[in-house]
Every structure is written in C-alpha cells, then in structure tokens.
Amino acid sequence: MTTAIAFRKVSRHYGQVRAVDSVDLDVAEGEFFAMLGPSGSGKTTCLRLIAGFERPTAGEIEIFGRPSSKVPPYRRPVNTVFQDYALFPHLNVRDNVAYGLMIAGVGKAERHRAAEEALAMVALPGYADRKPSELSGGQRQRVALARALVNKPKVLLLDEPLGALDLKLREQMQVELKSLQRQLGITFVFVTHDQGEALSMADRVAVFNEGRIQQVGRPQDIYDRPQTPFVADFVGSSNVLSPEIVARLTGRHAHASLRPEAVRQQPGGRDAQVVELAFLGSVTRMTLTMDGQSLTALVPKGQPVPDKGSTIQIGWDEDALHLMEARDG
C-alpha cells in the first residue's frame, strides 16, 4: 500500500506554543483518515501543514514520498474543504466550482461541463447560476466539496466540514461523504472534534491532544482499547479509574478505562451512590460515586431507574475494565 501522507517528526511552534509537537504519522492511499481531538489539539494545524498554508518549524511532511517543505500550496496535489467553506462571494456556484480548472487553463465549455458534473455528484444540480450568498449552509458545504473534487486531487483535506450543519443534515452528509470517498477512491483526511463522526466514518483515527498524537488505530481499537486516559475520556467519554481504585480492584497500579454502557446494576456488587440523573431519550445517564471515584453509567430505556441519592449495587464484566499504560498524566 502506498503512503499518501507521511509526517516525519513534524513540529509547528508559535513562539512558546507547541501547536504540533513532533508528530509521526502515515496515511495510506485511498484511506479515510480522521484526525480527532479537542480544539487547540493541533489537528487543524496538521491539516494546514499538509495543504501548505503553514510550514513546519521542524521535521518534514512527505506527500506521495516527496518532501513538501519547499512546495507551495498551489503546487500540491491536495485540495481542501474549508471549515467556513471559503466560497468566493463574487462568483456564482458554477465559477466557484470551475475555479481550479480555470486556473489550470481548461477551456470555458469544458470546465463548465466538469463543474456541472461535480455539482451533480454532490446532489446539487441546477444551482450553478446562484451566488453562494443565496445558498443554505448545507448547500454551500456541497459546493465547497464539488469545488475541491472537480480538480481530482490525490488527497482531499476536510477541516470540520460538517461542523456548521444541524444534526440531521450532518448525519446525512456523513453517509454521503463516506460513500463518495469509496466511489472515488481518493484519500480523505478529515479533521473533527466529534468523536462519533470520526468513529463512524474513518478507516483509521488519530487522536490528538496538546499537539501530540495520543493514539492511532481503527475506530474499534480506539474505542475498545484506549491507550491513554485522555483517549478513554475523549472518545466515548469513558470512565477513567484512578490507579488507587484500580489497585484495590485488580491489584495492579495503573489507570483503567470503563465504558459507561459496561456498568450495570448488579445485586451483590459494589456500593455506589446515585449523584445525578440525566434523561437522554433512549438512555438515562447516571453519575455515581464509588469509593470516592466518580463514574458514569447508562440505564437503557425500559429498565428501572434508581432514585437520585439512593445507594445501588453495580458490577461489570471482568474484561470491560481496560488497563492503560501510564503514558501521560
């Protein structure tokens, strides 16, 4: 498998701030790769480094095996879908989509035809004559996508492209993006802070925190076997048990993660106080304390919900408790 993007000890520092700190990363060709992390974790900076809007302060990014630090953005075989879409307000949708082809010197008839095709691909035919200001957020998002895809990039970079859409539309676009990626076979690098989005769409996920990669792996592995307390907490808001508690439970001194859905009420189990209840629709989320450790547990709809303030007995399967190496604090 060819490597599309490779980070080799890449850092991007702004004075004292280490936006990206010594990152190593390989993205395979044809892969749907997600960069997941909270805001300020360096994921967007990584994307901008690939696009060439930023230059690394150290290290090298290789794009299809070629060092890129001396290659300006306009010569890179990548295209970006911007978070704010960055559609040109003075051009109509057709000219926006055809912009890259116009720059490449493609004739008018030819590029207009390609633009129409790209618009059809993102399910937005018939909008070519409108101005971006006349479109809804979801439509602009599709235009931005068409504008990038029409150039047939080898890598498509997406910077939180669904962030501004409402929930329904977002879920629909997730499905469409995924199938579009399969159909085109283009490498997608997708930045998001939404763990559900990353897990559901990506072939592999890199979890970022404070400029560093915490873990890279398939969504299933990230979810089931988080390697650091941060990943456990950020991906699916797992319970992170302190080493003291874990030592008491298992005899081993390490952080451990415990999925909220793995915690169940079990007569004869460990005592826990119900501190807070939150009704979420299909489940009720309980906040518990057990031996001074705060825990989250989920009660599926239909099962009895204990009263707030009551003491219940809880338990979980042996292998649900996942011990983590103490890589960071």
Chain positions contacting another protein, by CB under 8 A: 51-53, 72-75, 78-80, 82-84, 86-90, 99-100, 102-104, 147-148, 151
Least separation, in Å, of the C-beta of 298 and another protein? 26
> Side by side, which strands form the sheet with 283-290?
293-300, 283-290, 264-279, 311-315
Report phi then psi at 183, rounded to 5: -70, -40
149: closest CA among 216, 189, 93, 100?
100
C-alpha span between 223 and 206 (Å, rounded): 12
Least separation, in Å, of the C-beta of 209 and another protein? 25
C-alpha span between 289 and 291 (Å, rounded): 7
C-alpha span between 160 and 194 (Å, rounded): 9
Q: Which is nearer to another protein, 51 or 165 (CB)?
A: 51
38: closest CA among 184, 151, 194?
194
45 close to 99: Cβ distance less than 8 angstroms: no
Q: Which is nearer to another protein, 133 or 310 (CB)?
A: 133
C-alpha span between 99 and 101 (Å, rounded): 5
Least separation, in Å, of the C-beta of 157 and another protein? 8
218 φ/ψ sector (left φ>0, alpha ψ -120 to 50, else beta): beta
Q: Which is nearer to another protein, 100 or 236 (CB)?
A: 100
Is the C-alpha dihedral spanning 78, 82, 85, 89 positive or negative? negative
Q: Which is nearer to another protein, 108 or 248 (CB)?
A: 108
Q: Which is nearer to another protein, 149 or 288 (CB)?
A: 149
308 close to 277: Cβ distance less than 8 angstroms: yes
Residue 254 in tokens: 């390490």
Q: Which is nearer to another protein, 153 or 219 (CB)?
A: 153
Least separation, in Å, of the C-beta of 212 and another protein? 25
C-alpha span between 290 and 311 (Å, rounded): 10
> Side by side, which strands form the sheet with 256-258?
239-241, 256-258, 322-323
Least separation, in Å, of the C-beta of 215 and another protein? 29
Least separation, in Å, of the C-beta of 323 and another protein? 43
Least separation, in Å, of the C-beta of 54 and another protein? 10
Q: Which is nearer to another protein, 89 or 329 (CB)?
A: 89
Least separation, in Å, of the C-beta of 99 and another protein? 5
Q: Which is nearer to another protein, 48 or 255 (CB)?
A: 48
